[in-house]
Amino acid sequence: LAFRLLFFHSNGFSLSSSSSFSSSSSSSSSSSISEDLFVVSSTFMAPQSSKFNDSSVSVDFHYTQNQTSQNDDAKCDIFSGEWIPNPLGPVYTNESCPEIEDHQNCMKNGRPDSGYLYWRWKPKDCEILRFDAKKFLDLMRDKSWAFIGDSISRNHVQSLLCILAQVELPVEVYHDKEYRSKRWNFPSYNFTLSVIWTPFLIHAAIFEDKNGVTSSDIQLHLDKLDETWTDQYKSFDYIVFAGGKWFLKTAIYYENDTIQGCHYCPGKNLTELGFEHAYRKALRLIFNFMTSPEQKGFVIFRTATPDHFEGGEWFSGGTCNRTVPFKDGEVDLRDIDRVMHDIELEEFEKAEKVGSENGVVLNLLDTTHLSLLRPDAHPGPYRTFQPFAKDKNAKVQNDCLHWCLPGPIDYWNDLIMEILVNR
């Protein structure tokens, strides 16, 4: 199976003073942005709808000095739980946030249902508090954060920007030529937030155009980190990084600038090493860098998230039409996602021990299971504006990997707040 990526990009849209969701017509000033793919087959679920309550838009949830959402007697596994109904809905709308890319702006693009907005993540054995944007900005005064990874990391940073924008609008101070890496500043707090696009985090030669059309196989150097992020690393106080899906793509593997083998390269007379080999080596190299004695940052490692394509892949008619979450136990990870997740947990556990010895704070943000349960919250066909306006039966490309904004990815920030508070 040959894996390809879909690239797309948007520069955002105008800020509105309205607090309701907007699906009004608007021309996109988008060029192209990157990203990912994949296939899943799962089962059933009935639709549920709900309406947004404007009066519920709020971000001011305060922590006291001694307050914690976890029991004093035992640590709670905040990554094990279920999605439960949340009548309050999201803390921002697609009109109160200027940072939503058109391809994740599901309401503006005409998605007809809104039930996916009214669920919240509930760990089994404790409650977690909603992300407090004002408190976060106060804590991060004169600090800098970086989200390092692929387009899911960019999706995540846009979610965080949308929440923080309810307190103060971010000012974009940098973007690269392709608009894949960006940096924002919150002037009143001297807080800087960056996203660095590096889908492998190790050195890679990628031969794909903005539409994901491949002209040659990826050349992946398993013994070299990508200097795009390592050259900036020491300038950040907090780092959230993730790898994952790109390692499933066809690639030629190098070490010492010499071909060692490949992943899915039939007809090339190379040793099939498999993505597991490359992903483990890459994570080990990354963790070794981050946990070395000269590094002192606060590091959060986010695990990969499964996609929810059914009936095909992104380029072969795959769709994601479900309208409610799965319940815990109704769906399992595919074998390929389970292998990837196991590698992540094994390498994190090893690195955490090294980091603690060297004074590096290493934290796990395990988004795999809670994301698996949300097949209902991807853009699907609504990655473009009004895809069925001219033909209600039109065959359109679906995005079943990235997340609508607002959407369940917002709750990843609740988990980050939990990690910060309980450290």
Percent of the chain with pLDDT over 70: 82
Q: Of the spans 11-20, 38-47, 156-165, which averages the highest pLDDT?
A: 156-165
pLDDT at 21: 54
Report the pLDDT value the prediction gives residue 29, as an integer from 0 to 100.
36
Taking residues 201-224, report their average pLDDT.
87
The answer on pLDDT for 7 being more than 60 is: no
The interaxial angle of helices 410-422 and 151-164, nearest 10 deg, is 80
> Which pLDDT does position 47 carry in this prediction?
33
Task: For residues 95 and 20, give the distance between their C-alpha atoms in angstroms, rounded to a whole number.
Answer: 7
Residue 19 CB neighbour total at 10 angstroms: 14
Indicate which residue of 337, 402, 410, 414 is catalytic. Answer: 402
Least trusted range by pLDDT, from 24-33, 124-133, 311-320, 403-412: 24-33
| Residue, of 297 and 311, whose pLDDT is higher | 311
How far apart, in whole angstroms, are the C-alpha atoms of residue 1 and residue 21? 40
pTM: 0.83
Q: pLDDT grade, residue 198 (50/70/90)?
A: very high
Residue 32: pLDDT over 50: no
pLDDT tens sequence across 157-187: 999 999 999 999 999 999 999 999 999 999 9
Inter-CA distances, 95 with 120, 166, 195, 406, 408, Å: 21, 11, 22, 10, 18
More confident call, 178 vs 343: 343
Residue 376: what pLDDT?
Answer: 98
3-class DSSP assignment, residue 287 = helix
Residue 211 pLDDT: 64
pLDDT at residue 10 tops 80: no
pLDDT digits (tens, 9 = 90+) for 393-412: 999 999 999 999 999 999 99
Mean pLDDT for all residues in the chain:
85
Which strands form 202-205's sheet, in the order they lie side by side? 202-205, 218-225, 251-255, 258-263
Q: What is the pLDDT of residue 41?
A: 30
Q: What is the mean pLDDT of residues 34-44?
A: 34
Q: Which of 34, 151, 159, 371 is catalytic?
A: 151
Active-site residue, 151 included: yes
pLDDT surpasses 80 at 45: no
Q: So what's the pLDDT on residue 208?
A: 79
Q: pLDDT tens, 346-397?
A: 999 999 999 999 999 899 999 999 999 999 999 999 999 999 999 999 999 9
Is pLDDT of 37 > 50? no
Distance between CA atoms of 105 and 113, rounded to whole angstroms?
Answer: 13
Indicate if 60 belongs to the active site.
no
Q: Is the pLDDT of residue 418 over 70?
A: yes
Say which range, 166-170, 214-218, 271-275, has the weakest mean pLDDT: 214-218
Confidence check: pLDDT of 73 > 80 = no
The tokens of 400 are what?
Answer: 């079943």
212 pLDDT band (50/70/90 cuts)?
low
pLDDT band at 421 (very low <50, low <70, confident <90, very high): confident
Is the per-residue pLDDT at 36 higher than 70? no
Of 102, 307, 376, 399, the catalytic one is 399
Answer yes or no: is pLDDT of 314 > 70: yes
Average pLDDT of the residues in 77-105: 95
Q: Is 402 a catalytic residue?
A: yes
The mean-pLDDT minimum among 28-37, 232-241, 368-377 falls in 28-37
Q: Is the pLDDT of residue 225 over 80?
A: yes
Residue 422: per-residue pLDDT:
78
Q: In whole angstroms, give the CA distance from residue 120 to residue 363.
A: 22
- The residue among 315 and 410 whose pLDDT is bigger is 410
Burial of 393 from C-beta contacts in 10 A (0-12 / 13-18 / 19+): exposed
